[in-house]
Structure 1
Amino acid sequence: MVKKGSTIQFLLKGMAVGESIAYLSVSEQEKILRAESQHELRWGSQTSLALATTASLSRGYQLADVMIHLQNWYKKRQYAPMGTIQDIDDVTKQALDNYTKNRDILASGISTDNADSENILSRMLPVSLYLYHQVGVSFINDESAMLMLHRIAGLTHNDEGALVSVGMLSLIVSQILDGRAMSDAVENGLAFGFEYYSRHQVFVDELKAFYELNLPDFSNIPADKIQLDGRASTTLEAVIWSLLNSESYTQALKKSLIHGHSNSIVPTLVSAIGAIYYKDDLVLELGQNLIVKRVFTTVIGQAERSSRFNLLNKPANLS
């Protein structure tokens, strides 16, 4: 049966569903995943930032425009209607405040160690789709595409470790979009990432954070061996572990919730990636329970009409 819904629709609604469910009690999570609850779903800042990024890229790639959309979320509460759960991490806040003061698009991002943060990963997923649809699965061979990826991330989180995590995640997503099985997508994405970043001296030292994730038996490690510490690379470990140990969207989301209420970003990412991989109708059904559906209708409609997130779009070299 052919599933209805575009890739960007599954991604954004999957993200919102995952983030919303992460805030609920365990009993309510279980009811929702058994389709026994119509609980209103209230997404958080991870989804809102992804919506802002998508809205900007629907107009084409302009780095300043991405920053303006992030500022509109921060200052005007766009993409974050009343009733949604919004907060801002210290790194993003500092970067957006920097831009307000200096208006320097390339100098606002934070490059200190605390910027190697999991908070960059969710809003970069729409960028992964954009690059795949505009350039193709081989965007890693296009330096202008990789520069775009790093610069959009670097608007807020400009630490080398964060940029490598964003690259690894994006390469895995591109493999999924290219039709690879999950295990192959992870293996190929990591291999391409190691090959690319090992050629750039500024990133070489960051690769050690991904050695365990790159082991053949990574999926067999116990979940409690993944020590979430807020860094992008360890969160990526938990996300990949959840996806590799699942055979359905629902199972993947359940696995992501093993990591507990202390981390809402893991289920946000797992739900988003699982949604585009499985294209389960449950994602769209649960999307009907989002507190303000109009926001998604508007942003998804813009993205679909732009053809910049369209799988049928013929890849073209960005340069």
Structure 2
Amino acid sequence: MLKNKLKAGIIGHLVGDALGVPVEFKSRKELKKDPVSDMQGYGTYNQVPGTWSDDSSLTLCLLESLLKGYNLNDQAEKFISWLDDAYWTAGGETFDVGNTTRVSIAKLRQGIEPTAAGAGGERDNGNGSLMRILPLAFYLIDVDSAEKFKKTKEVSSLTHSHPRSILGCYLYLDYAQRLIMGAGLQQSYEQTVKHVNQFIAKDNFSSELKYYNRIAAGNIKDLAENEIRSTGYVVDTLEAVFWVLLNSNSYQESVLKAVNLGEDTDTVAAITGGLAGIYYGFNSIPKKWVKQLARLNDILELINNFCKKI
């Protein structure tokens, strides 16, 4: 079961990313007039159909690193290789790199300790760690909350060390793990909200919970679409992901709805797609989209190698 969900989650993430790449930064108004309904290419970055971005590159870097165990220095080396040498890129080109991620990797390159490299200012709360952390949900499936939070904090802090980014990653990981264990979309959401409200109350991160109050209130589903923002701000991204998932009934509906919210289309759709893949299963992802993914065989080989370890 775990192996099937890993494959569905990773491929679901990449497909969502690839659907969003050509229209990144397009407004919701523009996409209302000309919505994305299929895999397409070119557009924002002039990439061929099936091209995925930094979201997926760094996710695959983390997945590959975890094959050998939990090693922050190895994760850092892979991130540096991605930025400098286009490692784990779709077509040998690194594009769409967030500024916080770029600056933090520069610090890693200088030899700064991985957990001290990430930017920790309030303005450094983009979705750059949220977008790459899904493999950790599978790797930490059997650990307690304290250990899960500790490692989530460390992995996020390679690029994003502000408590708000870390809390967003923890919310996401906890939710993903509940889906992995077989709970429903709404049930997992309710359980995550309850758990995080209780767990964070005992932690010095509790002051950051107010920024997630629309998620923590337990009724994000009931907000109108025009109340949902789909920017690169970590809180906006996570709100959009929960809103889409809880207002959709299939993988395809979820990722297309995510893309057509506009703005940070690739990241919102990638994170949505990973969770939707876990919940709806690999066979729910349209085969034609999967076949169009760049480097599909390499990705499947990496997934299979990881599956042998879990």
TM-score, normalised with respect to structure 2: 0.87
Q: Aligned partner of 2:5: which letter?
A: T
Query: For 1:280-301, what per-residue CA distance to the aligned partner results, in whole angstroms no more than 9, with x for missing partners?
Result: 4142722211122232033212
Q: CA deviation at 1:184?
A: 0.8
Residue 250 of structure 2 contacts residue 284 of structure 2 at CA under 8 Å; is this kept in 1? no
Range with bigger deviation, 291-300 or 188-197: 291-300
1:218 corresponds in structure 2 to 220
One-letter amino acid of the counterpart of residue 292, structure 1: R
RMSD: 2.3
Q: Higher mean Cα deviation, 242-251 or 19-28? A: 19-28
Residue 299 of structure 1 is matched in structure 2 by 302
In the alignment, is residue 30 of structure 1 matched against residue 63 of structure 2? Answer: no
CA contact (8 A) 1:120 1:153 kept: yes
Comparing 207-216 and 239-248, the one that deviates more: 207-216
Q: Does 1:7 align with 2:32?
A: no
CA contact (8 A) 1:43 1:84 kept: no
Deviations 1:7-37 (Å, cap 9, x if unpaired)? Answer: 221111111111111134666832459xxxx
Identify if the C-alpha distance between structure 1 residues 287 and 85 changes in structure 2 by more than 3 Å, giving closer, same or farther.
Answer: farther
Q: Work out whether 1:162 is the aligned partner of 2:131.
A: no
**Cα distance per residue 1:236-277 (max 9 Å; x no partner):** 000000000011111212221231154321111111110010
- Structure 1 range deviating more: 6-15 or 267-276: 6-15
Residue of structure 1 in register with 2:207 after alignment: 205
Cα distance in 1 for partners of 2:4, 2:95 equals 26
- Out of 124, 127, 130, the position equivalent to 1:121 is 130
Q: How far has the Cα of 1:216 moved from its partner? A: 4.1
Query: Given the superposition, is the C-alpha separation of residues 30 and 85 from structure 1 closer, same or farther in structure 2, using an over 3 Å criterion?
Result: farther
Which region of structure 1 is more displaced relative to structure 2, 63-72 or 163-172?
63-72
Aligned partner of residue 131 in structure 2, secondary structure: helix
Runs of at least 5 residues in structure 1 that lack an aligned partner in the other structure? 34-38, 308-319
Question: What SS is found at the alignment partner of 1:227?
Answer: coil
Task: Identify the residue that residue 53 of structure 2 maps to in structure 1.
Answer: 44
Distance 1:205-1:87 versus aligned 2 partners, 3 A rule: same
Structure 1 outlier segments of 4+, above 3 Å:
24-29
Deviation at 1:77, TM superposition (A): 1.2
Residue of structure 1 in register with 2:28 after alignment: none
1:315 matched residue in structure 2: none
Q: Which residue of 1 aligns with 2:27?
A: none
Structure 2 segments unaligned to the other structure (5+ residues): 24-30, 41-47
Q: What is the aligned counterpart of 1:275 among 263, 277, 299?
A: 277
Distance 1:228 1:261 in 2: 6
| Amino acid paired to 2:53 | G
Please say if residues 42 and 290 of structure 1, whose CA atoms lie closer than 8 Å, have aligned partners that are also in contact: yes
1:1-319 equivalent positions in 2, closer than 5 A: 6-24=4-22, 29-32=36-39, 40-82=49-91, 86-132=95-141, 134-135=142-143, 139-140=144-145, 143-201=146-204, 203-283=205-285, 285=287, 286-307=289-310
The CA deviation at 1:100 is: 1.5
Kindly indicate whether the alpha-carbon contact (under 8 Å) linking 1:42 and 1:83 is maintained by their aligned counterparts in 2: no
Alpha-carbon distance between aligned partners in 2 of 1:231 and 1:40, rounded to the nearest angstrom: 26
Aligned residues: 293
In the alignment, the residues of structure 1 paired with residue 65 and residue 74 of structure 2 have an alpha-carbon distance, to the nearest angstrom, of 6
For 1:161, the aligned partner's letter is R
> Which has the higher mean CA deviation after the structures are superposed, 226-235 or 268-277?
226-235
